Amino acid sequence: MNKLYLWGIIITAIMLGATYYTVVLTKGGLNGDIVNMLAVAGAVALVIITVFVVIKYVRQMQTDTATGELADESWDDIGEYKNPVPFGWAIMFLGTMIWGMWYFVAGYPVNAYSQIGEYNEEVAAHDAKFEKEYANITGDRLVEMGESVFLAECKVCHGINADGIDGKAANLNVRLEAKTIKDVIEHGSNNQLLGMEMPMPDRNGLFNNNTGAPITDAEIEKVSNYVANGMSGEGADIFAGTCAACHGSDGMGMEYVAPSIAAFNNTLITNVLTHGKKGAIGTMPAFDRLNAKQKEAVAAYITSLSAK
């Protein structure tokens, strides 16, 4: 027998024996689990096919000579023959396609059991139980719950004191900072703070009704500081002439028109958690993993911070 074939048989036997030892003697067998059966079948097929392919092409390199018609193209004087795809490769490719379709349809269908699916079902059941148990929590208990959720989900970016960690995220102890307001005025906003598409125009669409002219850089600076300082200081006239029509004379916003820019409220924060937000600092992702009660609790906690 050719030494190459002999070595192929020996290597195949060793690898299949190692598979048998690992699965049956060490792990306790297949236990009738189709996933284990498919995994072992795949391992056996992989060993046999790999050894077969290696033997075939090593043998071919030892004995065969190149024949056929050369293609017109060459790379560094290295030509390529116009040979058809080897029949064995075509059969293996077709067999792999058939096996793949069988695997997804019958062997292990996409709608079959999975640990991820079981986890998602358990999470959904727990969320339903959670919402039912804590549906009526209000007041200080809701704020306490919100603090717990905030420390688990939000402190990584906003900091344990909700101060934004030196500008890496929004400082939630105040409604808005001047740089944030300035960025929104200059570039506009469409963050669904009202829970729906309600974009605010950029500076080209804002006019100071006191002068009839587009808002200037100096006016943007003044009104940004005015809002950031709690609707006080220089800039009240600019706010009244440019911003009050949508945000209200007190900055508390108007339903279906514009959000509050003077203070946080539960609806505003819940919408940010649901839809995410883009701003001067960067992009905050939506927090889909929080249920409705957890979002309400976080909103209550953040609102309590700015009220202190």
Query: Tens of pLDDT along 144-195?
Result: 999 999 999 999 999 999 999 988 899 999 999 999 999 999 999 888 899 8
The pLDDT assigned to 35 comes to 74
Rounded-to-integer distance, Cα 121 and Cα 130, Å: 14
Q: Could you tell me if 289 and 258 lie in one domain?
A: yes
Cα 9 to Cα 238: distance, rounded to the nearest angstrom = 88
Q: What percent of the chain has pLDDT over 70?
A: 98
Instruction: Output the six-digit token pair for 220.
Output: 């943007």
Does position 285 have pLDDT exceeding 80, yes or no?
Answer: yes
pLDDT exceeds cutoff 60 at 6 = yes
In a domain, 121, yes or no: no
Q: For position 306, what pLDDT does the model report?
A: 74
Tell me the average pLDDT across 205-225.
Answer: 89
| Domain presence at residue 129 | no
DSSP state of 166: T
**pLDDT given at position 27:** 66
Structural domain includes residue 199: yes
Residue 273 binned pLDDT confidence (cut-offs 50, 70, 90):
very high
Residue 80 placed within a domain = yes
- One domain for residues 106 and 72: yes
- Domain end among 62, 85, 115: 115
pLDDT of 81 reads 83
CA distance 185 to 143: 32
- Measured between alpha carbons, how far is 41 from 47 in angstroms, rounded to an integer? 10
pLDDT grade, residue 141 (50/70/90)? very high
Tell me: do 89 and 145 sit in the same domain: no
Tell me the residue range of the domain where 176 lies.
137-307
Query: Mean pLDDT across the stretch 89-113?
Result: 84
Of 117-121, 220-224, 271-275, the range with the lowest mean pLDDT is: 117-121
pLDDT given at position 28: 67
pLDDT at 1 over 70: no
Q: Which residue would you say has higher pLDDT here, 24 or 15?
A: 15
pLDDT band at 19 (very low <50, low <70, confident <90, very high): confident
Residue 43 burial (10 A CB sphere; 0-12, 13-18, 19+): middle
- Where is the domain boundary, 81, 115, 149? 115
* Mean of per-residue pLDDT scores for the chain: 88
Tokens 């293609």 belong to residue: 71
Residue percentage of the chain with pLDDT more than 90: 46
Q: Which two tokens stand for residue 217?
A: 């850089």
pLDDT at residue number 308: 62
CB 143 within 8 A of CB 301: yes
- 25 or 212: whose pLDDT is higher? 212
The identity of residue 305, as a single letter, is L
Mapping DSSP to helix (H, G, I), strand (E, B) and coil, where does residue 254 land? strand
Domains: count for the chain: 2
Kindly indicate the confidence band of residue 113, based on its pLDDT and cuts at 50, 70 and 90: confident
Distance CA 223, CA 251 (A): 12
- pLDDT grade for 251, boundaries at 50, 70 and 90: very high
Confirm whether 236 is domain-assigned. yes
* Listed residues 115, 146, 178: the one ending a domain: 115
**Are the CB atoms for 136 and 276 separated by under 8 Å?**
no
Q: Are residues 86 and 160 in the same domain?
A: no
Are residues 174 and 64 both part of a single domain?
A: no
68 pLDDT tier (thresholds 50, 70, 90): confident
Helix (H, G, I), strand (E, B) or coil at 75: strand
Amino acid of residue 270: T
Whether 126 is in a domain gets the answer: no
Phi and psi at 82, nearest 5°, equal -85, 55
Same domain, 21 and 66: yes
176 and 50 part of one domain:
no
Query: Does residue 240 sit in the same domain as residue 99?
Result: no
Please tell me whether residues 198 and 69 are part of one structural domain.
no
**Quick one: average pLDDT of 60-84?**
81
- State the pLDDT confidence band at 307, using cuts at 50, 70 and 90: low
Q: Are residues 85 and 211 in the same domain?
A: no
pLDDT in the model for residue 182: 95
**What is the spatial distance between Cα 273 and Cα 150, in angstroms, rounded to a whole number?**
11
Helix (H, G, I), strand (E, B), or coil: what is residue 261? coil
Q: d(Cα 132, Cα 179) in Å, to the nearest integer?
A: 41
**Burial letters 286-299, b for 16+ CB under 10 A, else e:** ebeebbebbbbbbb
**Structure tokens belonging to residue 13:** 């036997």
49 touches 92 (CB < 8 A): yes
The listed range with the strongest mean pLDDT (10-24, 96-110, 240-254) is 240-254
147 & 192 share domain: yes
- CA 145 vs. chain centroid, Å, equals 25
In a domain, 49, yes or no: yes
Name which of 65-79, 132-146, 167-181 the model is least confident about: 65-79
Query: How many angstroms separate the CA atoms of 169 and 192, rounded?
Result: 19
What is the mean predicted confidence (pLDDT) over 242-269? 93
| Strand-pair partners of 207 | 214
Position 209 pLDDT exceeds 60? yes
